[in-house]
Structure 1
Amino acid sequence: MEKYEELLLALRKVIRATDLHSKQLHKLTGLTAPQLLILREVAAAPTGITASAVAQNITLSPATVSNVIDRLEQRELLHRERSTQDRRRVVLSLTARGVERMKAAPRPLQDNFINKFQALADWEQSQLLSSMQRIAAMMDAERLDAAEVLEVGTYEQQQFSQND
């Protein structure tokens, strides 16, 4: 097998593992990975957080985060509230239903990855990072909107789960 074939096979395995975890997450919680990530960000801010701060923290575009927040609000998992100090500021917080959903949610796939990655020597971490950045560049993927949560699937699957 050629080296490029081995590399592509390894990439497909990563995509498959991510896809399987995403499906398991949706089956167990009814949430997509981005929805769970946003709920985690909101839960981590006990006094509330703005949508723009969430977008910045999870490195997704504000428009994407806003759309996901709309769906989470419709499902009564979080709510928006205007700040009493600054009426221009809208703060997000979890509803009781959102808190319960978070308690039942499994750990994200990347938690296991992070633990294993951080156990590597610094030089090996740097080598892996550099290699993945190079692969992303070779795939013209540097400017794609991406979050730290690993999720894949077809466009139709993502649109279907986002509309739930």
Structure 2
Amino acid sequence: MTDKIVSTEIDLSSVVALDLPIFQALRRLQQAGEVHAKRLARFGGLTPMQLMILQVLAGEARLTASDLSGRVSLTAATLSGMLDRLEERGLLQRQRDDQDRRRQWLLLSEAGRELVQQAPTLLPPEFRQRLAVLKEWERHSLTAALLRAAELCGEME
């Protein structure tokens, strides 16, 4: 009797043809993001990441930096610098926990809350309008595909 040897090698040849179109699509998304980031910067000098941080905080009563880090896909070190800048601008506050002084809560300030309410959307308006025209299943499918693509990229910042 002979045992079958199972190959653990991955055959990448089937995806090589997709390299260029996928990269081109990612580049177009990146360019659109950069253009929209410039629009956001004109509004209150915010980067898209700063606005996302404020929006996540607006949806929560309070969060720790560790929890926020996971929600916005940033390392603790990168997030820390952004939080410092947002705090300096008076858009968020840090508050020590009464029971555990090691824990620090992040809270959106009133100025931060007002800014979030007035801020443009994270996605470019043209994209949102075109997305709204799609059927619901297409919107969900597109979202799922983008989330899966991001997952395939692995731990990236």
State the TM-score, normalizing by the size of structure 1: 0.67
Residue 118 of structure 2 is aligned to residue 104 of structure 1: yes
Which residue is equivalent to 1:63? 77
Q: Work out which of the residue numbers 14, 18, 25 in structure 1 matches 2:33.
A: 18
The aligned runs of 1:67-146 (5 Å cut-off) are 67-109=81-123, 112=128, 119-120=137-138, 125=142, 128-129=145-146, 132=149, 142-145=154-157
Inter-CA distance 132–118: structure 2 relative to 1 (3 Å threshold): farther
Give CA-to-partner distance per residue, 1:106-133, whole Å, 9 cap, x none: 11118838765963287x5599459846
Between structure 1 and structure 2, the one with the greater Rg is 2
- Structure 2 runs not aligned, ≥5 long: 1-16
SS at match of 2:63: coil
Cα RMSD over matched residues? 3.3
- Residue 155 of structure 1 corresponds to none
1:52 lines up with 2:66 in the alignment: yes
Judge conservation of contact 1:118–1:125 (CA < 8 Å) in 2.
no
> Is the Cα contact below 8 Å between 1:81 and 1:92 reproduced in 2?
yes
1:6-44 deviation per Cα after TM superposition (whole angstroms, max 9, x unaligned): 554433322211111111111123110111111112111
Q: Which secondary structure state, in structure 2, belongs to the residue aligned with residue 30 of structure 1?
A: coil
Bigger relative contact order, structure 1 or 2 (CA pairs below 8 A, ≥6 apart): 1
Q: Aligned pair in 2 of structure 1 residues 77, 127: CA closer, same or farther (>3 Å)? A: closer
Measure how far apart 1:52 and its partner are: 0.6
Mark the runs of 5 or more structure 1 residues left unpaired by the alignment: 146-164
CA distance in 2, matches of 1:121, 1:104: 26
Equivalences, count = 137
Q: Check conservation: 2:131, 2:139, Cα contact below 8 A.
A: no
**What's the TM-score once normalised by structure 2's chain length?**
0.70
Partner of 1:35: 50
Flag the 1:69–1:117 CA change in 2: closer, same or farther, 3 A. farther
